[in-house]
């Protein structure tokens, strides 16, 4: 078909929004000092998985459908120090990011196009907020975009008793009835927005569109934003901790998924402990059990949330050692391929080999530094300095929490018996090998060794995260329902390999699972089927005792990445006891035939 053929030009597009995390800006190639003050080593900022997934997308797929990427830098990436501190510390700028990405979609979407939203950290919150905004008010037409800021104000303040509908100042024929003040805020909001969308549709100002998929890494905060209290705990007075002196404007999303979303995927960091980085886990209450609830029931979205080893940045990317981030990136690529995206199949291998090259460079740097007489004072990752800073931060948080968590855990001999074989011993040898990266066994940071840990530390609680009251922002006693959580095979592999603990100290024990009553088991498979590893809760709270977290099966890109590491692949993909379940897929790209593809 000729390039000028109108049918070619009107081929449906895929619009991919990529919202990056705090202080991350891959557009401007920021330089960071990864050395010391005395011996600076300026390097380009390491990209997050949001950046990398955008770069892994060809400009068009195998059927010549354009795959158009809109990249958005994270909050706190302004040009001056004040913008960096305020934006990074308080989330200032998130509303602007939501509006900017929404505007891109409004200006470029045509019927038949597919919309994908990706994000990391507060960028994940941005992506989810965009989906919530589209679910609530639709996607405004180009001509109606002149009313956008009125619409957005009404969306943010929907259901508040003192709010007068802003859009009526520009569209006089717009009429809705305010919900009764006697109803709870979240119910008033739901009723208000339902009327609002209906009125926008009546006036031909908006369109209801589906979101093909949302793929996020570790959405932070109870409702997206670390609270001002965390800044005040650092000693900042309220007028500095909240420089705008306004109520938190970012509570306009909840933990449910809009019915306009077809696929929703979230990679969660099992080993992140900072309370200001607590994850916003999705829930999907079953309609049959939710008739009287103010939470949206939704049985149409395909939801999957998977726990990975590592801290916030290990899983979402932006660390110099990208090994763990590569694992979650491969998982997300596998899931989004099922939802219709097509990726460059050489991208993951290139990323892994680049990390292998950087391992060799770091080893050479280590040898040079340790041979220098004054290396103790200027080594950027001095073992003593690292251990001292971590201990001090843990002491400030709690006098009894100074020991590394890997030391404090009990030793479960049964786990060792399950994997005591020649293959398992070879796997453990790979865990001790520092000359090159190994799948699931690369550096795992200690989130306590960070100044933001002064806001408090708490382990994450798979299958036991609680709802947050929309009106107060406080956690309730209600456990989230229908979260569709699983654990990634890389968690088990790191445990079985006796991989290194936080910052290379001790042995990895998956403390967030162990200390909350979870034990690793290998379930019995049905005849002709693979056995599936799983985590079973033996001694947790009454809400989770007896619950099961299945190990997620490996997808196509995950298997491709694993094969870059022959040592670990022999354990995970072999026929022995360490074998993981592998999903069914063809050897070539399957996205064009995926049931959910546009």
Q: What is the pLDDT of residues 130-188, one digit of tens each?
A: 999 999 999 999 999 999 999 999 999 999 999 999 999 999 999 999 999 999 998 99
**How does DSSP assign 75-114, residue by residue?**
TT-SSSHHHHHHHHHH-TTHHHHHHHHHHHHHHH--TT-E
Q: Residue 59 burial by CB count (10 A; 0-12/13-18/19+): exposed, middle or buried?
A: exposed
| Distance separating alpha carbons of residues 231 and 244, to the nearest angstrom | 14
For the chain, the residue count is: 598
Question: How much is the pLDDT for 423?
Answer: 82
Q: Which of 101, 48, 95, 45 is nearest to 72 (CA)?
A: 101
Dihedral, 140, 141, 142, 147 alpha carbons, nearest 10? -50
Parts of the chain with a pLDDT under 50: 77-92, 222-250, 252, 287-294, 373-383, 397-411, 413, 416-417, 527, 587-597
Output the pLDDT for position 419. 60
Q: Which residues, in sequence order, are CB contacts of 524 under 8 Å at separation 6+?
A: 531
Its pTM stands at 0.85
Which residues are CB-contacts of 554 (< 8 A; sequence separation ≥ 6)? 334, 489, 562, 572, 580, 581, 582, 583
Distance CA 185, CA 161 (A): 9
The whole-angstrom separation of Cα 447 and Cα 262 is 33
User: Tokens at residue 174, please?
Assistant: 């717009």
The pLDDT of residue 247 is: 46
Convert 262-283 into a string of H (helix), E (strand) and C (coil): EEEEEEEECCCCEHHHCECCCE
* Under 8 Å between Cβ of 520 and 580: no
Residue 242: its pLDDT value, please? 42
Instruction: Please tell me the predicted confidence (pLDDT) of residue 377.
Output: 45
Q: What is the pLDDT of residue 218?
A: 96
Q: How far apart are CA 596 and CA 598, in angstroms?
A: 6
pLDDT value for 62: 96
303: three-class secondary structure by DSSP = strand
pLDDT recorded at residue 393:
57
Tell me the per-residue pLDDT of 238-288, one tens digit each, with 9 for 90 and over: 434 443 334 444 454 568 898 999 999 999 999 999 988 889 999 998 744
């Amino acid at each position: 078909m000729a390039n000028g053929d109108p049918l070619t030009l009107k081929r449906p597009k895929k619009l991919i929004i990529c919202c990056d995390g705090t202080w991350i800006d891959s557009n401007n190639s920021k330089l960071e000092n990864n050395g010391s003050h005395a011996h600076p080593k300026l390097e380009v900022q390491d990209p997050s998985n949001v950046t990398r997934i955008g770069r892994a997308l060809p400009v068009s797929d195998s059927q010549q459908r354009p795959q158009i990427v809109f990249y958005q830098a994270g909050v706190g990436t302004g040009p001056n120090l004040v913008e960096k501190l305020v934006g990074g510390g308080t989330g200032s700028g998130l509303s602007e990011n939501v509006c900017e990405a929404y505007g891109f979609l409004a200006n470029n979407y045509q019927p038949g196009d597919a919309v994908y939203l990706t994000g990391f950290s507060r960028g994940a919150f941005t992506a989810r907020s965009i989906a919530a905004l589209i679910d609530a008010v639709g996607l405004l037409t180009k001509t109606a975009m002149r009313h956008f800021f009125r619409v957005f104000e009404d969306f943010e303040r929907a259901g508040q008793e003192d709010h007068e509908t802003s859009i009526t100042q520009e569209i006089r024929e717009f009429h809705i009835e305010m919900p009764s003040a006697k109803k709870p805020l979240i119910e008033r909001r739901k009723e208000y927005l339902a009327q609002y969308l209906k009125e926008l549709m009546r006036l031909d100002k908006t369109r209801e569109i589906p979101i093909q998929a949302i793929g996020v890494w570790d959405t932070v905060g109870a409702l997206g934003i670390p609270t001002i209290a965390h800044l005040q705990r650092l000693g900042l007075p309220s007028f500095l901790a909240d420089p705008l002196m306004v109520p938190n404007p970012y509570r306009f999303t909840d933990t449910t998924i809009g019915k306009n979303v077809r696929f929703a995927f979230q990679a969660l960091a099992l080993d992140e402990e900072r309370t200001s980085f607590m994850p916003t886990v999705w829930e999907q209450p079953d309609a049959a059990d939710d008739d009287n609830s103010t939470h949206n029931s939704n049985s149409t979205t395909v939801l999957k949330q998977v726990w990975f080893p590592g801290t916030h940045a290990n899983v979402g990317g932006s660390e110099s050692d990208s090994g763990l981030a590569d694992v979650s990136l491969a998982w997300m690529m596998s899931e989004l391929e099922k939802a219709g995206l097509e990726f460059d199949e050489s991208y993951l291998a290139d990323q892994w080999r680049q990390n292998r090259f950087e391992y060799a460079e770091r080893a050479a740097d280590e040898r040079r530094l340790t041979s220098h007489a004054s290396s103790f004072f200027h080594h950027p990752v001095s073992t003593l300095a690292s251990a001292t800073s971590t201990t001090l931060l843990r002491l400030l948080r709690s006098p009894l929490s100074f020991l590394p968590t890997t030391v404090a855990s009990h030793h479960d001999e049964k786990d060792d018996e399950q994997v005591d074989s020649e293959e398992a011993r070879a796997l453990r040898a790979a865990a001790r090998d520092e000359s090159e990266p190994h799948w699931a066994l690369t550096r795992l940071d200690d989130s306590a060794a960070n100044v933001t840990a002064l806001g408090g530390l708490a382990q994450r609680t798979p299958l036991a995260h609680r709802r947050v009251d929309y009106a107060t922002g406080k956690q309730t006693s209600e456990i989230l329902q229908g979260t569709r959580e699983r654990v990634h095979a890389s968690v088990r592999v790191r445990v079985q390999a006796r991989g290194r603990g936080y910052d290379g100290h001790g042995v990895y024990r998956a403390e967030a699972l162990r200390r909350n009553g979870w034990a690793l088991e290998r379930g019995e498979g049905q005849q002709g089927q693979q056995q599936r590893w799983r985590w079973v809760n033996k001694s947790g709270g009454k809400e989770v005792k007896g619950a099961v977290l299945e190990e997620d099966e490996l997808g196509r890109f995950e298997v491709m990445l694993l094969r870059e590491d022959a040592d670990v692949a022999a354990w995970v993909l072999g026929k022995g006891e360490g074998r993981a379940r592998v999903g069914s897929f063809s050897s070539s790209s399957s996205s064009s035939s995926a049931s959910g593809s546009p």
